[in-house]
Structure 1
């Protein structure tokens, strides 16, 4: 078992990562040290109703708690972000504290960009109706005026990020026939407080749904076109922790506090210097066609995508083997690749997630050619490994193998 520190601090691109069990109790002091007095907690309704999670946060904030906005949803609609800004003005908050998974963290982050963008809902919808070029991004080149702190409770990896997008027009109103989204690339959160005790309040099915999304960041980084020894190091060490811990805390194996601690640290590590690539392109491709959680798609496709990559190129198979506990001594490349695929499939199969695309509601086999086109065109494919010719026809073959 790999040892980890009980607590640590790390500055990452201007975001102070604070890890440690029970550190939610420090929230008031953390914000006070930064001159912030009134916090608006941002979450979804399920999180807001989870007293096991919210009580430590309320107690940790104490008199600095100005209010709670529990209106975020997986839809991540732009209207929700404007509602959040209205609530922030109502309670006089000078900092947002986003709690939960990717939906809440993304909505809060993009609300800070809407605040400086200057357009209202009607403006954004009108621009979106004229197409992606007219819509553009939120306040390009501008930093937000509202600081954001994040307390993640899932493994999706939305905490150490400046990304996330909001739906401006649904597919049936969009000129492209796909949901029209907008985002802004602002500053990192000022604080990412990773408290394993908060993760333990998240229902296991929710943790499982996020697990492969985070896990795949570690898988993708070593084979990405722009990977570096530094990004490899954090990804491989994160995979070592996650491959053992995720089946225990989000799957069908017996868990423990120590396993959750390792899972949270592993999820942090695979985010640092991450290089999302081919697997995420598959997730994005399905998101353009269906309302489906990306972690579910990642779980299904990850072993098949790796097998496809290994058939075409090296794809850093021995680096991945080091992260997944696969023996490489005296073994050929093909044997190593097979065992890497099996190791990833074993993590997936230990989680309560689908193993086939046909098991995902609303998916249709007739849509696979169109989804393959979306995947081939996705921006994440810009980081595909050198030498990979990811034509839509080849991608469709991978999709049919997963069906």
Structure 2
């Protein structure tokens, strides 16, 4: 993996009685965050925060035309007054009267220029600031990010339990909730569901971090406070704040039972400087309705996201996996079930662009596709060519 890529969400499923893509999208429990339509950005300046006596933090800020600055009061008896900090003469471009802790004030800067300001009572104590509005276009909007992944799979025993891996990237810990759903899937018209799913969360090297059988048995209050607790008492969930790194969720049936299960990972802390990444599940792909389906949601930004989807089979044998699918096919569908793009062998279409990502499939018979997607819910469907079956892996990368 090269540094120019950020693995952002990978999800796969295999199972029986597959829900059509539109219904699968309905199973995704996270509501996509409302995305702004403006190209401008809002920046926050803290007014007298703890540890910075009588200061604006940051004191100097560079933005672009159309951007907004929001001042947030963390101390008392302060103003934001545009003008000359040396003489204390206000110019009237923007400003506030005296305000106290908890107050906020926003101003949008439409034109380039340099704008000095100060706190009137504390100007001579050095409580001053400067906004530099650089020329050019407004700050581009952030790209949509994965907020939630949902994987429905026919959970079996032995090597065919549901194993989903994900990575947290960034500099800060990320709070997530992972759920293992079974009985409540009947509400979506599914039969043969997993009666009592068990969930394990493991870290690097397979070290067990947390496990849960029935979600009300442990962490009940915290899981309920997340806003997305399981609907059935026999379903499992884990809330954890995880440092950047690689993690694995394992879903099994209690007492070796089998059936259709759903594993989900939700981002509970979208404001942190970290992201869900590389969420992947390997599964057995059968025929008919027993295909593999991976669901994911893009949100948290208004710009389109560049996505690479891969369906791997033959190259899995290099990892010691037996019974790998010999020739997977791939479809990407939107929330309405419409096909966005499809591929059989990755070199048939978009070969140059896929190769340029630096992470093309290793086998010519594996499938891949590139798409630029707006925020929304999507599904990736994997089948075997000519009714073939076997173990496959579907992956979704967000490209920087």
Is the TM-score greater than 0.5? no
More RCO (CA 8 Å, sep 6+): 2
TM range (shorter): under 0.3
Greater fraction helix: 1
Greater fraction strand: 2
The structure with more radius of gyration? 2
